[in-house]
Amino acid sequence: MEQTDLYPLKFDPLYQYRIWGGRRLSHLLSKPLPADDPIGEAWILSDRDDHPSKITNGKLKGQTIRQVMGHSPQQLLGELATQFKRFPLLLKFLDCKQVLSVQVHPADNLTQYIPKGEHGKTEAWVVLETGNDPIIYAGLKPGTNEKDIRDKLAVHKVADDLAHFEPVVGDSVLIKAGTVHTLGDVVVFEVQENSDVTYRLYDWDRIDEKTGKPRDLQVEEAIACIDFTKVAIKPQQPVKEDDGPELRELLIADDHFKVWRHTGAEPFMVGKDAMSRILVGVDGAGELEYKNEIYPLKKGEVMLLPASVGSCPIVPKDNLVLLEIALPA
């Protein structure tokens, strides 16, 4: 396929049934939720074989992000084009009506626990909504060792060894690979390495109504992937950056991605020259301007700015809150 000039790209969300999900993503996204199933995840930018995101705007409408990676890698990723065969990040909204399984993701260097073609998985959350009993478990309690974990698993009380806190809207949490974690009664935005490797340590003894059985656990793999130095993880402290008319805060800074939050009612700049960036609408609406064309962005939508697009102005239609995500440094 011939290389095509790229432009700001928008994508259709992909909804996923999850035993722990709910119906709150209807508050966030305009695309109707399917049937009456609990929907736990909306994959809003995915370069996965089983769930590829499709473009919804412009001349590339209907193409997947993988196809664009194939015919226009330099335009899409700039100097990162030679480093990745697929788009390096996976973006989601999660509706955690119930608490997820207690789980661990392997680090990139634990290759024996990573299937061929996959990577480790560091991820981060930005809390968008909370219910009556929100909770985030992140990291172990200080001093916890492998014997402690196994002993608590035997009596179904592994949560006793986990550090936890009550999240509030706006919190951002970095979950590095190897961190034992879970969360419940929250709606969050999630950015992660493009990986689907999760090892369940404990699933609260519940039964999946669709199968009538408990979900599979991977206890030995999960324990092998735990980094016991990852203890008592707390929300990140936002760092204000005074470089525009809006409130710009750096929420997450990691080797795998960075996340900023923009809040404002006056026009401001997003993106960066020669680098790919992703925009996610959290509240309000705005219009991005590129080559004399307007690209609307509203709450619940994602927009990918290819490296060839670079920096662009965005004009809020009301008070706009959006996240901007940078690819690996």
The string of pLDDT tens digits covering residues 292-307 is: 999 999 999 999 999 9
Task: Report if residue 230 sits inside a domain.
Answer: no
Task: Report if residue 231 sits inside a domain.
Answer: no
Residue-level pLDDT at 267: 96
Residue-level pLDDT at 245: 92
pLDDT band at 1, cuts 50/70/90?
A: very low
Least confident range from 103-107, 119-123, 243-247: namely: 243-247
Tell me which long-range contacts 214-218 makes (C-beta under 8 A, separation of at least 24).
Answer: 215/19, 215/101, 217/101
Q: Which of 273, 269, 277, 278 is nearest to 248 (CA)?
A: 269
Looking at the fold, whether 219 and 319 belong to one and the same domain comes out as no
Residue-level pLDDT at 36: 85
Task: Report if residue 281 sits inside a domain.
Answer: yes
Looking at the fold, whether 200 and 248 belong to one and the same domain comes out as no
Looking at the fold, whether 176 and 28 belong to one and the same domain comes out as yes
pLDDT tens-digit series, residues 138-183? 999 999 999 999 999 999 999 999 999 999 999 999 999 999 999 9
pLDDT band at 121, cuts 50/70/90?
A: very high
Looking at the fold, whether 194 and 263 belong to one and the same domain comes out as no
Residue type, 119: H
Residue-level pLDDT at 329: 76
Mean pLDDT of 240-264: 94
Looking at the fold, whether 35 and 82 belong to one and the same domain comes out as yes
Looking at the fold, whether 66 and 143 belong to one and the same domain comes out as yes
**Residue range of the domain that includes 201:** 9-225
Task: Report if residue 1 sits inside a domain.
Answer: no
Strand partners, 124: 174, 191
- On the CB side of 195, CA atoms within 13 Å amount to 23
Residue type, 16: Q
Looking at the fold, whether 41 and 171 belong to one and the same domain comes out as yes
139 near 232, Cβ under 8 Å? yes
Task: Report if residue 128 sits inside a domain.
Answer: yes
Percent of the chain with pLDDT over 90: 93
Residue with tokens 């179904």: 156
What's the mean pLDDT when you consider all of the chain? 96
Looking at the fold, whether 201 and 296 belong to one and the same domain comes out as no
- 198 has pLDDT over 90: yes
Mean pLDDT of 224-231: 98
Mean pLDDT of 84-102: 97
**Domain final residue pick, 225, 255, 282:** 225
**Domain final residue pick, 196, 225, 254:** 225
Residue with tokens 């991977």: 218
276 near 47, Cβ under 8 Å? no
Looking at the fold, whether 130 and 183 belong to one and the same domain comes out as yes
Tokens of 256: 């795998």
pLDDT band at 209, cuts 50/70/90?
A: confident
Looking at the fold, whether 140 and 271 belong to one and the same domain comes out as no
Q: Structurally, how many domains does the chain consist of?
A: 2
Residue-level pLDDT at 3: 63
**Domain final residue pick, 167, 190, 225:** 225
CATH of the domain at 319: 2.60.120.10
DSSP, residue by residue, 249-315: EEEEE-SS-EEEEEEESS-EEESBTTB-EEEEEEESEEEEEETTEEEEEETT-EEEE-TTT--EEEE
Cα gap 85→275, rounded to integer Å? 17
Residue-level pLDDT at 2: 54
DSSP, residue by residue, 84-148: -SS-SEEEEEEEESSPPPEEE---TT-GGGS-TT-----EEEEEEEEEEEEEEEEEEPTT--HHH
Task: Report if residue 4 sits inside a domain.
Answer: no
Cα gap 277→78, rounded to integer Å? 11
Mean pLDDT of 195-199: 95
